[in-house]
């Protein structure tokens, strides 16, 4: 077995065969294969590595390789693959046709794997990556168990894409099936937000610096805002989105993970379970809403027609794959509270939407106002409070606004900005989240993956909202103009507390 140490990352990666259920799909083409190729280019991939894509399309090994080469050219952050290195990389790529619901397909896969593993000497180490329709996940896992593929002479791991269930009951059922076939230490529930450099940097900023932690609590923080806004619409995924909506698609997973990372207590060390222990405590401390709370703390809406990026776009209900009377939300704003010593009484405002004015993901910590204003005479409206903004994407970085004296004889103060930009400070492009996450799976590091109890705690937190919306009379679905920042009532949610949403 060829063991290779990865610089800057703990652990060692060994030879593997990566089996992608959905190897002919969009995620594999856009993200997974370009990420693997870039890892190889940076000498981070274990050698040897074989990749077996699975799907229904009529592809053979060579047409699959050609397809992935074009996809890498189109989607990789590093552009066109280098001729020689691609030729060597593609020797490890294979395609196997089959239906994910049929046992005989798994038996055939077993045969193919035997040959491929022998040819590449991958030592029986297997990673199964579920990159297909989530409704197929339970059956695939069950058949991996029944066919015996879940057991091999080497290490076996399974990566499960989001969404993990569509409510607490289905997430729990998927966990039961997964944990029946695999041990929790073999299961990697993915949320690609955790692979982003800036999200990991929240932990570094908080726990590798002494100056933030003393003020990171209810004594000094007035509110926290987490925004995940997209200018894009459905991009051809109307059928999927109709079933999901903004709460399931973004809030339950990405936003809950950002919230957990920003609000967690310092872990005892940086081991996977120590970090996940602290994250799950935050999710469990989220105040459970009652139906009446949902009405006053949550806004939901779907976009009407409008103009985005100078282009007229249709209303959500006129999009392909969307029902004309659809009740699916494309926007959610919510006010949550974390009932623990650190955060009691501090509102956490979350919002996510499609077809908003701009693409931006940000965590903003708004601090309290100074207790006594010395400059009141020159600044009749007071001075704005400090804000620490963590930009997750685009333009990754951190900025702090603070007050400074304006030049001149009068004692006037005004907010100024201190900015750290990832690109400028490190003069290199951050790697894609999937590169980091695939590498971690190969290394067997679960830190950036979601543990069973975390995913169920995150569902538990949003279930009252879903339940309340299920009773349609109680849950008005508002409309916002595409290209705007969402419905007016989302602004009211903050205005009534004396805050306002940040603009980008
Ligand atoms: N696309 C993204 O950017 C993205 C981002 C984040 C997360 N995800 C998640 O990744 C997963 C996959 O999404 P996707 O966009 O890649 O979906 P997709 O483009 O629709 O691909 C689905 C894949 O599954 C295969 N498949 C479907 N049903 C099958 C069956 N019964 N038997 C055998 N193969 C079957 C398809 O094969 P054929 O096409 O050959 O039939 C295709 O390879 C989802 O969980 C999604 O939420 C996707």
C-beta 232 within 6 A of ligand 1 = no
| C-alpha closest to that of 304 among 313, 296, 295, 294 | 313
The predicted model gives 247-257 an average pLDDT of 96
**H-state helical runs in 308-447:** 422-426, 433-443
C-beta 156 within 6 A of ligand 1 = no
pTM > 0.75: yes
Distance of CA 133 from the midpoint of ligand 1 (Å): 5
229 HSE (CA, 13 A, CB side): 26
C-beta 56 within 6 A of ligand 1 = yes
Give percent of the chain with pLDDT exceeding 70.
95
pLDDT band per the 50, 70, 90 thresholds, residue 377: low
Nearest ligand 1 atom, CA 23: 43
Cβ distance 442 to 16 under 8 Å? yes
**Ligand 1 atom 4: residue of nearest CA:** 27
Distance of CA 21 from the midpoint of ligand 1 (Å): 8
The pLDDT value recorded for residue 412 is 82
Interatomic CA distance for residues 158 and 183, integer angstroms = 10
pLDDT, one tens digit per residue, over 127-164 is 999 999 999 999 999 999 999 999 988 899 999 999 99
**Which has more pLDDT, 423 or 315?**
315
Give percent of the chain with pLDDT exceeding 90.
79
Nearest ligand 1 atom, CA 101: 31
The pLDDT value recorded for residue 372 is 78
Burial 429-466 (b: 16+ CB within 10 A, else e): ebbbbbbbbbbbbbbbbbbbbbbbbbbbbbbbbbbbbb
| CATH number for domain 4-161, candidates 2.40.37.10, 3.40.50.720, 3.40.640.10, 3.30.200.20 | 3.40.50.720
pLDDT, one tens digit per residue, over 326-358 is 999 999 999 999 999 999 999 999 999 999 999
Distance of CA 365 from the midpoint of ligand 1 (Å): 37
Could you tell me where in the chain the CATH 3.30.360.10 domains are found? 194-371+450-495
Cα of first residue to Cα of last residue in the chain, in angstroms, is: 50
Could you tell me where in the chain the CATH 3.40.50.720 domains are found? 4-161
Active-site residues, by number, are: 254
Interatomic CA distance for residues 145 and 164, integer angstroms = 19
pLDDT band per the 50, 70, 90 thresholds, residue 83: confident
β-pairing, 187-189 vs 12-13, is unpaired
Is residue 46 over pLDDT 50?
Answer: yes
Q: Determine the residue of 23, 25, 97, 129 to mutate for testing ligand 1's pocket, defined as the one with the most ligand atoms within 8 A of the Cβ atom.
A: 25
The pLDDT value recorded for residue 384 is 87
Is residue 1 over pLDDT 50?
Answer: no
The predicted model gives 46-68 an average pLDDT of 95
The pLDDT value recorded for residue 380 is 64
Domain 194-371+450-495 superfamily per CATH:
Dihydrodipicolinate Reductase; domain 2 (3.30.360.10)
């Amino acid at each position: 077995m060829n063991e290779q140490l990865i610089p800057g990352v703990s652990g060692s990666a060994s030879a593997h065969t990566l089996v992608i259920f959905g190897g002919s799909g969009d995620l594999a083409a856009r993200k997974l294969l370009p990420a693997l190729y870039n890892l190889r280019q940076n000498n981070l991939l274990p050698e040897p590595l074989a990749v077996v894509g699975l799907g229904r399309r009529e592809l053979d090994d060579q047409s699959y390789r050609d397809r992935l080469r074009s996809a890498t050219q189109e989607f990789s952050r590093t552009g066109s693959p280098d001729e020689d290195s691609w030729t060597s990389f593609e020797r490890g790529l294979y395609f196997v046709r089959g239906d994910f619901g049929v046992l005989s397909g798994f038996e055939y896969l077993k045969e193919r794997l035997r040959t491929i593993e022998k040819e590449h000497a991958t030592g029986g180490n297997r990673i199964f990556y579920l990159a297909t329709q989530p409704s197929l996940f339970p059956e695939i896992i069950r058949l991996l168990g029944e066919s015996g593929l879940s057991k091999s002479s080497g290490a076996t791991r399974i990566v499960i894409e989001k969404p993990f269930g569509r409510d607490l009951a289905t997430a729990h059922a998927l966990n039961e099936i997964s944990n029946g076939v695999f041990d929790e230490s073999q299961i990697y529930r993915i949320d690609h937000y955790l692979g982003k450099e800036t999200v990991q940097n929240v932990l570094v900023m908080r726990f590798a610096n002494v100056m933030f932690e003393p003020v990171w609590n209810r004594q000094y923080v007035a509110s926290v805002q987490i925004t995940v806004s997209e200018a894009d619409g459905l991009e051809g995924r109307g059928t999927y989105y109709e079933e999901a909506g903004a709460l399931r698609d973004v809030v339950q997973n990405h936003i809950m993970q950002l919230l957990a990372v920003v609000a967690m207590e310092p872990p005892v060390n940086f081991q996977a379970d120590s970090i996940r222990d602290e994250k799950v405590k935050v999710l469990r401390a989220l105040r459970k809403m009652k139906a009446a709370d949902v009405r006053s703390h949550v806004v939901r809406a779907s976009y009407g027609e409008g103009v985005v990026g100078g282009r007229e776009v249709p209303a959500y209900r006129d999009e392909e794959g969307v029902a004309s009377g659809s009740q699916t939300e494309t926007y959610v704003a919510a006010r949550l509270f974390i009932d623990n010593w650190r955060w009691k009484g501090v509102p956490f405002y979350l919002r996510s939407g499609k077809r908003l004015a701009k693409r931006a993901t940000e965590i903003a910590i708004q601090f309290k106002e100074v207790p006594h204003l010395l400059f009141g005479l020159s600044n009749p409206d007071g001075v704005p409070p400090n804000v620490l903004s963590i930009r997750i994407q685009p333009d990754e970085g951190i900025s702090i606004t603070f007050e400074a004296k304006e030049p001149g004889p009068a004692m006037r103060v005004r907010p100024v900005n201190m900015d750290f930009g990832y690109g400028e400070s490190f003069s290199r492009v951050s790697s894609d989240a999937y590169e980091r996450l695939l590498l971690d799976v190969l290394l067997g590091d679960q830190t950036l993956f979601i543990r069973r109890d975390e995913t169920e705690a995150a569902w538990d937190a949003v279930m009252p909202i879903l339940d309340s919306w299920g009773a349609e009379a109680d849950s008005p679905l508002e409309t916002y103009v595409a290209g705007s920042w969402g419905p007016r009532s989302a602004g009211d949610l903050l205005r009534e507390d004396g805050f306002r949403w940040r603009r980008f």
